[in-house]
Every structure is written in C-alpha cells, then in structure tokens.
Amino acid sequence: MNDVPEVIYDVDGHVATITLNRPHRRNAISVRMLRELGAAIERVERDADVRVALLTGAGAGFCSGLDIKDAVAGTGIGGSGQVSPGGGGGMARTSDLPTVTLYEMDTPVIAVLNGAAAGYGVDLALGCDLRLAAESVRILPGFAKRAIVPESGGTWYLPRLVGWAKAAQIAYLGRDLSAAEACELGIVNEVVPDDALMDTARDWAGEIAANAPLAVQAMKRLFRAGMNEDFRSHSEHVLLQLMQLMATQDFQEGLMSFLEKRPPSFEGR
C-alpha cells in the first residue's frame, strides 16, 4: 500500500496549509485524494486555532481535474463502482464533498494557484474565498469541449463572481485563460511572479490571521447568507451578528488597541 499522503496538512501558527500531493498526475483528483481533501478541510474548520487556510498543489500543477486515466481504468472517480464528485457511488451525502464543505465552512480559504487548474481544479479554486495566482498559471475551463458541465460548484460560483455575460463567455467558449486574463475577468484576485507566490500567500494569510477571527468568520457567514436574502432581512441578520460581536473580548481589544495606538492582539473570544 502506498503510504504517501495524497493531501498534506500542515499548520504554522494560525495558518493551515493544505497541499494536493499527486505531482506525477498534476494533482488530478483520485478517490483517495477526494476523501483526504474532505478530511483536511473539515480539520481546518474544527481547529479553533486555525484562522485561515491556504490550498495549493505540489509540483508543477494546482489540480488537473478528475483523474481520467483512473476513471477509464475503472479505478477512479466516475469509474465502475467509484465515488462521483456529484455525490453518487459511495458518498452517502453531498455534505461529505470537499466543495460543499468549502462553501459551508466559516474559516477563510485562499487558493494558491501554483500551476494549471482544470476541470474540478477550477471549481475547487472558485470555492475558495480568494485566489492568488502565479504568472505562469493557466485556467482551463474546457468543460464544453468535453461535453460536460462544471460538476462541483462552477455553475453556481462563476456568474456570482464575474456576472452572467462573462460567465457565459468563459464557459461557452471554453478557452484556456492565462493568469492575467483570469485576473482581468475577476476570477483571480491577484497575479504575482512565480517565485513570490508562496511568500505573498503567507503574507495575505498572516494579515487575515492577525484580524479578529470571530469578525472574519461572521463576515463570511453574512456574505454567504446575503446571496439569498433580501436587503431588509439581511440588515436584521447583520444587526444580530453585530450585537454578538460587541459582547466579545475581541471587540474590547479592538477598541483599546485603537485608543492606545498599538496593534491589536485577538484571541477569538
């Protein structure tokens, strides 16, 4: 049995790093990787000390999608008797799927695109809160060229991120996108030189982790809720959340640090 993990989980301070670890297949998703990825994402959400997570790939690619070679051989996702990313053949609940967990979790996640993202890899990146890309990265939304649709969140995220018309342009044409084009379209937040990618990602994560974690998590919940609420209902929801935050020690620390002209030190309480 291969004892090398297909997903590596590491924590440094308040920042967790999840690394897809099948570099020989450009981090194509296997049945095992899907399960290990789901466990890693849930681990982030359960650990109160983790305030932000980075999601990246080992080697030259971020994620090349579902492992087609394994599927054709009948041993991978979509193969005979194997789990499908849409919830069939082995996954008892859609809540077990990494892309669903990404949407429902409160801890912010940054996709650190170190290489090509294709198929499932595109959906996985879209499910993160922020996307940071190396200059050499290519985004490959070629679902229409394979006679399929984005199966793990892409059809939900893309119109919300870039608007209907741009989402249609990206999806219907199915053209490969450079990192710069993806940034211009609004898929990627920022593009940086390849050798600066991880340092920049850690800087972003550090800044987020230094902020009040309860407030950041509350903002993420409110963003998520606001997509399906009318303005008045959402305003009431925000007020209730604000009242809870104002009762925390972190709120008092935020006030005192401002008055004392010093950086705040938040404890998540």
Could you please state the CATH topology (level 3) that the domain comprising 7-210 is classified under.
Answer: 2-enoyl-CoA Hydratase; Chain A, domain 1 (3.90.226)
Confidence at residue 137, expressed as pLDDT on a 0 to 100 scale: 97
Reported for 140-145, long-range contacts at CB under 8 A and 24+ positions apart, including other chains, are 140/116, 140/176, 140/177, 141/170, 141/171, 141/174, 141/175, 141/177, 142/118, 142/174, 142/175, 142/176, 143/119, 143/171, 143/174, 144/171, 144/172, 144/173, 144/174, 145/174
Question: Could you state, in order of their start, the residue ranges of all structural domains in the chain?
Answer: 7-210, 213-259
Radius of gyration of the chain (CA): 19
At 162, the amino acid letter reads V
Residue 93 scores a pLDDT above 70: no
**Cα(59)–Cα(193) distance, integer angstroms:** 16
Global pTM reads 0.89
Confidence at residue 53, expressed as pLDDT on a 0 to 100 scale: 97
Pairing mode, strands 130-134 and 109-113? parallel
pLDDT band of residue 46 (cuts 50, 70, 90) is very high
- Beta strand residue intervals within 48-90, DSSP E: 52-57, 61-63
Predicted confidence (pLDDT) per residue in 198-233, tens digit: 999 999 999 999 999 999 999 999 999 999 999 999
Give me the sheet containing 52-57, strands edge to edge.
7-12, 15-20, 52-57, 109-113, 130-134, 190-192
Residue 154 scores a pLDDT above 60: yes
